[in-house]
A and B are shown apart, each in its own frame.
Chain A
Amino acid sequence: MIKTIFLITTVSLLSACSITKDSEPAVVEDRSSVTQESIITLDESSFESQSIVGASASLSSAERVAVTELKNTGTNFILYFSYDGFDIDESATAQIIKHANFMRDNSSVNLRLEGHADERGTREYNLALGENRALSVKEVLGLYDLSSRVEVISFGEEKPITQSHDEAGWKMNRRVEFIYQ
C-alpha cells in the first residue's frame, strides 16, 4: 500500500511546476507543488492496512474493483484545503460529484470521510477544523441524498501524510480523504 502512494506522488512530480502560495482557496489534489523532501518523509503510519488507498478492508472484491476503476478514471480521493479553510471550490465540487455518482451506481458501499489539518495552530482547534473540512464534503454529497451513507471522522493534525515542517508539507496535510467501506 505504501508503494502505491509513492508511485502516485512520483508520477505527479514529473509534471511538477511552481510551488503555490499560502493563502489560496480550497484546491483539488494539487500534487504539483509537492517537493522531493516531502516524498522522502512520507509518513507511513498515517495509513491503516488497506490494500489500495481509498478502500477499506471491509469491501468485497467486486466493490474493490469498482473503487479502483473510479480511481483510474482520474477521480481524486484526497481533496486539499487552504490554511484554516474548509470551503469547497468549483473544481473540488466536480470531484465530489464523481464520488456521488459512484455511490449511486454502487449502492452497497458506504463512504468514510477523514478530515485532517496541518500542524500549525492548536491540536484541539485543528481537530474541529478537520471535522469542518469533512463536513463540507459531506454537505455536497447530501445534495445527492447520500448523507446517511457518509461517515465523518476528524483526526485533526494527528495523522499527517508528511512530517515536513514547511508549506509544501502543510499543504499536503490539510486534506479530506475518501475511504470506501
Chain B
Amino acid sequence: MVDVYSKQELYAEKITVHDSGIRRIAHYLSDRIYFALLGEKGSFYTRLSYITVVNKDKGKREYRLEISHSDAQNPQTILTSGSPILSPSWSPDQEKIAYVSFENGRSEVFIRYPFVRRKTQKLPYFDGIASAPSWHPNGESLLLTLSKDGNKDIYSYHFKNDKLTRLTKDTAIDTEASYSPDGKRIVFTSNRSGQVQIYIKDLSSNKINRATFEGRYNAKAVFSPDGKTLAMVHRVDKDYRIALLDIKSRDLTIMTENQLDESPFFSPNGGMIIFATNRGDRGVLSVVSLLGRETFELASKEGEVREPNWSHYSR
C-alpha cells in the first residue's frame, strides 16, 4: 500500500494462502490497512460467539453455541442442546469459550475448546447458581456468580489449583462481573442500593464504588479496551437500551433506541459495540459505531440470536 502523494510505502506484506483461507486473510489485511491508515488496530481478524435459539416441533427449542468471523460470516455451531445455554465468553487466547448450560437441570459453567479435540471441561459443582463466567485478561482465572450460601456473590475461580476467591459479600444480588483490561478492577451489577446499578471494585484497595447514578436500572456493564468507559444495559422508562458511561465524569450517553437491547460488548479496538436486540419477534445482533453512531445488523440464518461476545485479537 502506497501513499500516492508522498510516494511512501504505508504497508507491504507477502502472504501465501490456501483457497479456503481467503476470507480470513481478507480480514487480516483489513486490520493491517486500518492500522496503516488510522494508527489504530482494526477489529476484523477476530471472532464472535453468540447463542442461537431455534423453535422446533411441538414447542421444543434448540439452543446453539455458535462462533463466526467478526462480520458474522462463516458461522459454526460448536454445541447444540435442548436446554438453555447462556453467557458465552471467549478466553483471552481465543482458544476456549466459557458458557453456562442447564443440561444437568441447573445452571453450571463449562469450558469448551472450539478448535481442538479436547473434552469439554465442567467447573466443580457448587450448590445453587453457578453462572456469568468472564475471563481474567491473563486467562488463568474466571469470574463467576455463585450462590453457594443463597447469597449471589462474585468469586474468581483459579484453574491451576481449583481455588475460589470471594470478591463480594452482600445479601443483595451481585452478578455479571467482568475485569478491566488491566485486571486491576472488576465491574458488576448489584441491587444492594434497592435498585439495580453498576459497581466497580478496585482489587488492590478492595474498595467498592457505585458507578451509575442515572436511571433506575443499569446492568451487565463491560469495560472498554482503554478501561475508561463502560457499556451497559440502561432502562429508559419501559425500554432497555445500550448506554456508555464515562467512568470519571459520570457522563452517560444512550447509544440505541430500541425496546429490549441486551448484552453489549466492545469490539477489540473499542470502536464499536455489538449487542442483542429484538426486531419484531426475532432476536438479532446489532453493531453500533461509537464515532458515527452508525448502526448495522449482522446477518443471522435462522432463529433468535443473543448474547454476542467478541474475541480478543488472534495471536
B-binding residues in A (CB < 8 A): 43-45, 84, 119-125, 127-129, 131-132, 135, 152-156, 158-159, 163, 165
Q: For B233, list chain A residues within 8 Å (CB).
A: 121-122
Contacts A128-B175, A132-B152, A152-B128 supplied; 16 other A-B pairs, CB < 8 Å: A44-B59, A45-B59, A45-B60, A119-B260, A120-B260, A121-B240, A122-B233, A122-B263, A124-B131, A124-B189, A125-B173, A125-B176, A125-B196, A131-B129, A131-B147, A155-B84
- Which 3 A-B residue pairings sit nearest by Cβ, starting from the closest? A44-B59, A158-B84, A128-B173
Contact B60 A122 (CB under 8 A): no
Contact B59 A43 (CB under 8 A): yes
Q: For A165, list chain B residues within 8 Å (CB).
A: 260, 278, 281
Between-chain CB contacts (< 8 Å), 12 pairs: A44-B58, A122-B219, A123-B262, A123-B307, A124-B86, A124-B189, A127-B86, A127-B175, A128-B152, A152-B128, A154-B129, A163-B281
Q: For B175, list chain A residues within 8 Å (CB).
A: 124-125, 127-128
B292 within 8 A of A: no
A-binding residues in B (CB < 8 A): 58-61, 84, 86-87, 102, 105-107, 128-129, 131-132, 145, 147, 150, 152, 173, 175-176, 189, 191, 196, 217, 219-220, 233, 235, 240, 260, 262-263, 278, 281, 306-307
Contact A127 B59 (CB under 8 A): no
Bound form: Cα–Cα A67–B51 in Å: 38
Pick from A43, A125, A155, A159: contact of B219, CB under 8 Å:
A125
Contact B128 A131 (CB under 8 A): yes
Question: What is the minimal beta-carbon distance from A168 to any residue of chain B, in angstroms?
Answer: 14
Q: For A158, list chain B residues within 8 Å (CB).
A: 84, 86, 102
Bound form: Cα–Cα A127–B85 in Å: 12
Question: What is the minimal beta-carbon distance from A86 to any residue of chain B, in angstroms?
Answer: 10
Q: For B281, list chain A residues within 8 Å (CB).
A: 163, 165
Q: For A131, list chain B residues within 8 Å (CB).
A: 128-129, 147, 152
Q: Which residue of A lies closest to B87 (CB)?
A: A124
Contact B87 A123 (CB under 8 A): yes
Bound form: Cα–Cα A154–B102 in Å: 10
Question: What is the minimal beta-carbon distance from B279 to any residue of chain A, in angstroms?
Answer: 12
Bound form: Cα–Cα A153–B108 in Å: 12
Question: What is the minimal beta-carbon distance from B7 to any residue of chain A, in angstroms?
Answer: 53
Q: Which residue of A lies closest to B84 (CB)?
A: A158
Contact B196 A84 (CB under 8 A): yes
Give chain B's interface secondary structure class.
Answer: strand
Contact A121 B60 (CB under 8 A): no
Bound form: Cα–Cα A44–B59 in Å: 5
Bound form: Cα–Cα A84–B189 in Å: 14
Most buried by A among B60, B102, B235: B102
Q: For B263, list chain A residues within 8 Å (CB).
A: 122-123
Bound form: Cα–Cα A121–B147 in Å: 20
Q: Which residue of B lies closest to A132 (CB)?
A: B173
Bound form: Cα–Cα A119–B233 in Å: 14
Contact A122 B262 (CB under 8 A): yes
Bound form: Cα–Cα A153–B240 in Å: 26
Q: For A132, list chain B residues within 8 Å (CB).
A: 152, 173
Bound form: Cα–Cα A155–B103 in Å: 12
Q: For A125, list chain B residues within 8 Å (CB).
A: 173, 175-176, 189, 196, 219-220
Bound form: Cα–Cα A44–B107 in Å: 21
Contact A127 B307 (CB under 8 A): no
Bound form: Cα–Cα A163–B304 in Å: 13
Contact B262 A127 (CB under 8 A): no
Q: For B262, list chain A residues within 8 Å (CB).
A: 122-123
Bound form: Cα–Cα A35–B260 in Å: 22
Bound form: Cα–Cα A154–B306 in Å: 20
Q: For B132, list chain A residues within 8 Å (CB).
A: 124, 127
Contact B150 A135 (CB under 8 A): yes
Contact A155 B173 (CB under 8 A): no
Q: For A163, list chain B residues within 8 Å (CB).
A: 281
Question: What is the minimal beta-carbon distance from B109 to any residue of chain A, in angstroms?
Answer: 12
Question: What is the minimal beta-carbon distance from A147 to any residue of chain B, in angstroms?
Answer: 11
Bound form: Cα–Cα A155–B166 in Å: 24
Question: What is the minimal beta-carbon distance from A166 to any residue of chain B, in angstroms?
Answer: 11
Q: Which residue of B lies closest to A152 (CB)?
A: B128
Q: For B196, list chain A residues within 8 Å (CB).
A: 84, 121, 125
Contact A159 B84 (CB under 8 A): yes
Bound form: Cα–Cα A154–B129 in Å: 7
Question: What is the minimal beta-carbon distance from A5 to any residue of chain B, in angstroms?
Answer: 12
Q: Which residue of A lies closest to B232 (CB)?
A: A122
